Structure formats: C-alpha cells, structure tokens
Chain A
Amino acid sequence: MAGFDDVADVLEVTGSLDAPLDVRDGVDRETIETVTAMAGKYKYGWDTEIEMDFAPKGLSEDIVRLISAKNDEPEWMLEWRLAAYRRWLKMTEPRWAMVNYPDIDYQDIYYYAKPKSMAEKPKSLADVDPKLLATYAKLGIPLKEQALLAGVEAADQPRQVAVDAVFDSVSVGTTFKAELAKAGVIFCSISEAVREHPELVKKYIGSVVPPSDNFFATLNCAVFSDGSFVYIPEGVRCPMELSTYFRINAENTGQFERTLIIAEKGSYVSYLEGCTAPKRDTNQLHAAVVEIVIQEDAEVKYSTVQNWYPGDENGLGGIYNFVTKRADCRGDRARVMWTQVETGSAITWKYPSCILRGEGSQGEFYSIAIANNAQQADTGTKMIHLGKNTRSRIVSKGISAGRAQNTYRGLVSMHPKATNSRNYTQCDSLLIGDQCGAHTVPYIEVKNNSSRVEHEATTSKVDEDQLFYCRSRGMDEEEAVALVVNGFCKDVLQALPMEFAMEAQALVAISLEGSVG
C-alpha cells in the first residue's frame, strides 16, 4: 500500500461536458422531451474539469490523520475518528439488505479529494473557481442567490433558500450567512463547526448515531470529510430553508458526508438536500451520516431528492449509497419529518429513522423510491416509540421498472412505556414490467396495549384503465405512465417543499424513462 509520502498529489482531470443541457427542470413536457431525446443517457452525466487534490487510495490510521489535519481539526476530533476507525476494523459489512453488489475493496477507494483551488479558502463566492460555479449552474443550484433571488426577490417576500454547497468533500461556499447570523442560526460546514463551535459539535456529534452504530456509519465517523452543520437557537424559526447540494465529482472518490442539525427548544428549520453525480464507470461509494437533535417543541423538516448516478442500463457504474440518517426527538412535543425522493444510485441502503423519546413527539416519513434498469433500492424507516403519546406516520411509495429491485424495509417499535402512541404505515409498490421486483419487509413490535399500530401494504401494476384514459386523451405511453406514477406518489410529493416538489415530479418522469414500450 502506498504510504503517506507517496501521495504526489494525483491530478485527475478527465472528461468533458457531453451534453450542454439546460438546467432546473420544470415539470413541463419540454423537459421530458429533452430527456427522451437523450435516449437513456444520464442527464447529469458530465464531469467538470477541476483539479482534484487526492489523498492516496486506501484506508489507514494515516489517512484518518491526514483528513483530520487537512480539516485543521483539534486533537479530540482526531481521537474520535481514530477510535471509530479501530472499531470499524473489527466490524463486518452488513449483507442483510436485498441488494446484490460485488465486494467492495475498501483499500481501492480514495477517502479524500478536494477541489485544488480550495487550497486557499475563498473569501467570498466571487473567489470561488468559476468552473465550480458553472457546474452548480448546470445542476440548477441557486448558489449565488442567482436565478432564485435575483428574479424573485422583488416580488412580495419570496421564500429564501440558503445553500451550503459541498463539492466532493469540502464546502465551498455558504450563502446567506449574514442573515442567518442575525437570527442566531449557525449554518456552516461541519469542518468549520468543529473549529468555530467545538463545544456544540463535541456535545452532539455521535449522540444520535454513535460511532458503534453500523459498519457504514462507523466508517463515516473515521473518514468523514465534510458536510453541513446547523444550529437553530431556542425559539428561532429559521428565516429561510437551508439547502445542501452534494455532488460526487472525482472518479473513485468515496464521499463521506456528515451532517449535524440541532434544533433547540421551540425552534423550526426546513432543510433540503439534493444531489446529482457525474457519469462514471467505476462504482462510487457514498456513506453519509445525518444526525438531528430536536429539543422540546422544536420541529425539523428534512427533505431529500437523491439523484446520484444510477449506472447505465446494464447497471455498470453508479453510486453505492449507504446512508445512516436518524433524528432524535429528545424533548416533549418535538417533531421531525423526513421526506425523500430516491431516484438515483445503483444501490440504495438507507433508513432515515426517528427516535420518539419526548412525550407527545412526532415522526413522519414520506418516501418515493424509484428503481429502474438495474438499480437496487432497500430503503425505509425506523420509528422507535419510547415516550408516551408519541405519533408516527409512514407513507412509502416504491416503484420498480426495468430489472430493478425495490425493497421497503421498516421498523415500528412501541416500547412498554410508550403508552397511548400511534403509528400508521402505508407502503405501496408499483411494478412496471415483468422483470422487476417489489418487496416489503416491515418489522412491527408492539409492547403495550394502549398504542395502536396499523400497517398496510399493497403491490400492483400501473392501472390499465388509467393508462388507457390518458392515451385516449392524446398522451403518449411514456407521458401517461409518468402522470399515473405521479398520481401514485401524490401523498409524498405533497409533503415536499414547493421547489423540491416541482423538481421531484420531473425526476419521477425522468427516472422512468425507457421503462415502457
């Protein structure tokens, strides 16, 4: 294995834009036509020519130390990482999910890459590598308050969105800092938080997803490179939606994001996460951890649109997405809402969970998971009811097409002390074509009698009558399927913030492209 000194700053500059597409899709027909015209090519499949600064491939204590040093971390953070790394060495990769993939060689992955131009930290967005900004523009990210606010701000108090963009492993630009600071909200990269707010990070990191949690989370603890940190002080309603766009860029670079959100008493925040990744032939590993701490009467909404590169029609390439997301409703009446639209990745392994500890706390999970071609998704949630009068609701819509396998896996657990609690679960699966699979694996554990738990699941195919009706109104088959599927997903789409809902709707159509006829 290459030692630390062999680094020789590998520069990987490859590829170019293969299709100059317009960005930021609306839900209109034009989008669908555009994508159809691309005949199954992944829409965001380019990569940007930005110099990457790599650590050598493979994982060792040296790499962990390097990552920590590159982020200028204090000693305690490094120790925490090393402890996780040593624990990880003794763990085995979980294989219980209904996904098949070749063994991952953890020594054949880069654990650190950052855009070269970041060596000098930009003072403002103006200093940011213009190519980077152009990349974001292609992705339709309203990073520079550009499209989003320039055009809209004049109109009566538009909704604002702050973006903490993560390009590969380092947060390159955080907008709206001033306005957020005025409200007392801290929104920055986690590496910055480790330096600037060590007391908060130290107190909360690993308190929801402990370093011993699971193989991928432990790996993340050891090598997380960057991610977002959000702190909403007591009684503050975050003045805008917070948004992070992730984008894996360099080939063979695993991305290990770590997000920590803390909502103090009576506060509120809505957090958006969306991602796309460029087309590559080698599988890329992504093992993120998201921790959310919610105190008394606070509320957090976490919305995700996940559109990592799913691999080609034969399943070649594509992202392996092994994510641990968990919210801890620590205070009474705390509320959390996970909403996810999962359309990308070759493999998805993701179970955003709610620990309902506070009395009367509430967890919700709304999910759309679409698997097409050779994609495999095993996703769901865990609702762990510990406190009295807790409520949870799960609405999961799984869509399988092509040769894809889509599994809902969930846990609802009512502990003996969680009296008078309530859960409602609905998971519906839709099959498009006879080569795909849809599976439901719920675990239901009820240990008191005053709680009510209801679970229902259905599996069916796209309704012929509905399709026929759409066709008779002049739609082509693909449009008709997109419309019917969007209707099937309606319950979840409605739970998304406005701008995400639009994008998600378009994504649903795009993801199913090529699945009919």
Chain B
Amino acid sequence: MAAPQAKLDALAARIAGLSFPVAGWLGAARADALDRLAAMGLPGKRDEYWRYTDPAALTGAVPLAAALFDESDEAVAFSGIDRVKLVFVNGVFDTAQSDDPALAGVEIEHLADAGAADIHWAREVYGVLETRGQTPVQRPLATLATAFATGGLLIRATGKAAKPVSLIYLQGSDTSDVILHHCIKVESGAELTLLENGNAAARLTMVMEVEVAAGGRFHHIRAQGRAHQRHAATHVFARLGAKALFKSFTVTANGALTRNDAVIELVGDDAVAHVAGAAVGDGAFHHDDTVFVTHQGLRCESRQVFKKVLKNGATGVFQGKILVKKGAQKTDGYQISQALLLDDDSQFLAKPELEIYADDVKCSHGSTSGAIDDTALFYLRSRGVPEKAAQSLLVLAFLAEAMAEIDDADIAEDIRARLESWLARHEH
C-alpha cells in the first residue's frame, strides 16, 4: 500500500540535499534503505505508533534551533570511569579529542572506511537488523539513518574488551542536524560495555544495531544530554543468540523531545535482554520510550523497567510490547512502567502491550502513575528529614528499580550522582 502523499512530501523535504556514497556493500545497503524509505514516507502524528508523541520536530525539513547548553555545573558523565573515549562533534569523529581506539581491545572502524571493503562482518548487520525491526511496525526514522548516516562506528568484540568504549557526542552549533549509524557485533563468548553521552546536536537521528552472538555479553549505558531544546530520535536494534546477554540502561534529563526506540529479538534459546530507563523532566520535556521485545527462542528472559519523574508540564510516554512467538515456550517476560507526577501539569501516557502466542509462558506487565506518597513523605519528615531532601530521597527510591539494571557499580554510582544533582537543581 502506498504511503499517503503527505508522508512522501515530508520525506522529500527532509532528505533534500542529502546524499550518500553509492560504492561497495555499504552503498548497496544505503540504496536499499532509501527504496524502503520511499515506500514508507516519514511518520505522522496520526500514526498509531506516534499516538502520544508528535514527530513533527523529528521529521521537519530543518531542525528547530537548540541553543548550546552549558553542562559545567556537574561532572562530565562517566568521567570517573576508566574508558576509551571516542568523540563526535556535530556528528563528525574528532580524532584530536579521542583516545586511541586500539586501547579498548576490540575492533573499531569508521563506517566510511569499512564500507568500501568487499567483505566485512558489518554487511550482515548494517541495515539488516533495522530492516527486521520494521515489522510489524514501521520505523522510517531508523531507515533514514541507515540511508543517510554521515558517521558511525563499526565495533566488533571477539573477546572481553579491555575497557568500556565511551561514545561522546558534542553539539557544536545550535542548528546541527546529525544522523549517525553504529553497528556492534559481540562475538560468541565476548563481552563489551558501551557508554554514550552528550547532547549531540540540535536534532539527532540515530541507529545502533547490536548483534550478540551465542554466549556474548553486551552492556549499554547511556546518559542523554540535558540541553533543554535538543530533539533526538534514537533506535537500538538488537538480535540475541543462544545464552546471549543484552542490557541497556538510559538516563534522560530534560531535552525538548526524546524518542528512544528499542527493538530486541531473542532468537537463540536461553537469551536474556533487559532494557531500562530513568527519565527526569522539568518543564517543556517530552520523553518517549518505545520498546518492542520479541521472544522466539526457548526459555528466554526479558525485562523492561521504565521510570519517569515529571514536573512543570513535562510529558512522559511509554509504549512497550512483549511479543511471544509461537513455540517460544518457557518465556519469562516482565515489563513495568511507572510515573511519578510531581505536579498537576505533567502527564504520563502509556501503552504497555502483551502479544502472546505460546502457552507455557510467564508474562506480566504493570503500569502505575501517581504523586509522591504523602505517608512516606510524612514519615521521613517526622524523622527529621527536611521536606526537599525527603522528596529527593523518595524520587531516588522510585528510580531505584531501573537503576538496579546497571551491573557495574561504578557506572551505577555515576548515574546516581547525576540524578541526585539534577534533583538538587530542580527542587520545588
């Protein structure tokens, strides 16, 4: 079925002036993406999958300007962690500011370099997982990133990485419009931790495809930039082999619009995937977590834990789905989405779904929304805790279940400190 003209027009306007190199396997993958994109057009606010988030700012021909934001009032994310820093400024890799990639003990290449090779492992990943993630729901912005990414890394771990790989996205101008596409492959038995942080751009459109082979372990911890006016659409597509582990945690503080899609397929048996997020928003903040977990293997486990703290008109969105395919017996699927609304202007919109075609499964989801518990607040105050401190304590306690999804204690502490300093700045 042809896409409505408005979507095609939006696409034409969005990609006017964009182009990509057509050579090699990468050129072919990009051309394929463009074909698929041309059939879909860009998302509109009447699409069911954009029910609670207006994609206009993400699909417009030009990005809305986002003033450069001074984050010097708190320590740079992950600064205490021993890691290999790889820096992008306005989406362009900055060698001068980056560490030597070789220190990470994994293969790291640039998209532009690897694309010219005839044979490359990334051929089996680039655009492949993204394509799989288009069914049953279209995600044209991801396809856009496959076709038109101006930068990206191809990271392959064949053993346990020496250090976490830390991707840092710096915003260099208030009208920057950045499209990135990374591919990651964690080979059988290998292990990799990937960190991401930074404002990146006035508008960021990003895809990360992650293939975790049998027995591989992948940890992803992301601190999204707190520039108030930035807009971002990110996608993580993951495919897990037998006994693979995938863990992704995102903390988001502010930002005008953030849409984080996570599309995870548990293909092998006994695989484990956890996706978690903690979002804190004050004022003009719209944060959307859209998660789609597909169980195909036997005895797989998935967890989705999403917590949002909202005030002053902030909006939190959660769309989560667990799909258990026929035959995916002994699945254990869990999903929780909760919002703490600190005032009457904020809102929480959720669509937590289950779609299950196998009988011997254990699947549950929960979703709650409400204010801070007055009784708990009263108790803390009666113990001599000042009101603001008591409130912050309760907010941190509320976020704790999501934070618990970070395995590394130092990284967890870094994230916790960031949340605490955000709360201190945004007290009533």
Interface of A with B (CB < 8 Å)? 96, 414, 416, 419, 429, 431-461
Contacts and interface: CB of A to CB of B under 8 A. Distances in A.
Interface stretch (B32-40, B199-207, B231-239, B350-358): B350-358
Contacts, number: 117
A439 B360 contact: no
B343 A449 contact: yes
The 8 lowest CB-CB distance pairs between A and B, nearest first, are: A449-B341, A431-B359, A452-B370, A446-B369, A444-B350, A440-B354, A459-B363, A455-B367
B352 A442 contact: yes
Interface of B: 48, 326-327, 329, 339, 341-344, 346-371
B105 to A, nearest CB: 42
Contacts of B360: 434, 461
Name the prevailing secondary structure of the A interface residues. strand
A433 B368 CA distance: 31
Contact of A448 (B326, B341, B364): B341
B361 A457 contact: no
Contacts of B355: 437, 439-440
Q: Which of A434, A443, A446, A449 has the most CB of B within 10 A?
A: A449
A94 to B, nearest CB: 12
Q: Which of A419, A434, A435, A458 has the most CB of B within 10 A?
A: A434
B367 A442 contact: yes
Given A96-B48, A438-B354, A444-B349, A456 B344 contact: no
25 contacts: A414-B369, A429-B354, A431-B361, A434-B329, A438-B356, A439-B353, A439-B354, A439-B356, A440-B353, A440-B354, A442-B352, A442-B367, A446-B348, A447-B347, A448-B344, A449-B343, A450-B344, A452-B370, A452-B371, A455-B366, A457-B354, A458-B363, A459-B356, A459-B362, A459-B363
Contacts of A439: 353-356
Nearest to A448: B344
B48 A440 contact: no
Contacts of A436: 357, 359
Contacts of B353: 439-442
Contacts of A461: 359-361
B346 A432 contact: no
Contacts of B48: 96
B356 to A, nearest CB: 5
A126 to B, nearest CB: 53
A384 to B, nearest CB: 14
A431 B356 contact: yes
Contacts of A446: 339, 341, 347-349, 369
Contacts of A429: 354, 356
A121 B356 CA distance: 52
Contacts of A444: 348-352, 367, 369
A455 B351 contact: no
Given A96-B48, A446-B339, A460 B370 contact: no
Nearest to B371: A449
Given A431-B356, A453-B370, A440 B365 contact: yes
Contacts of B364: 456-459
A447 B344 CA distance: 7
Given A429-B356, A444-B348, A461-B359, A451 B366 contact: no
A436 B356 CA distance: 8
B136 to A, nearest CB: 11
A437 B356 contact: yes
Nearest to A452: B370
A452 B340 CA distance: 10
B367 A416 contact: no
B291 to A, nearest CB: 15
Contacts of B349: 444-446
A196 to B, nearest CB: 45
B341 A459 contact: no
A304 B362 CA distance: 30
Given A96-B48, A440-B353, A449-B346, A460 B365 contact: no
Contacts of B365: 440, 455-457
B393 to A, nearest CB: 18
A461 B368 CA distance: 25
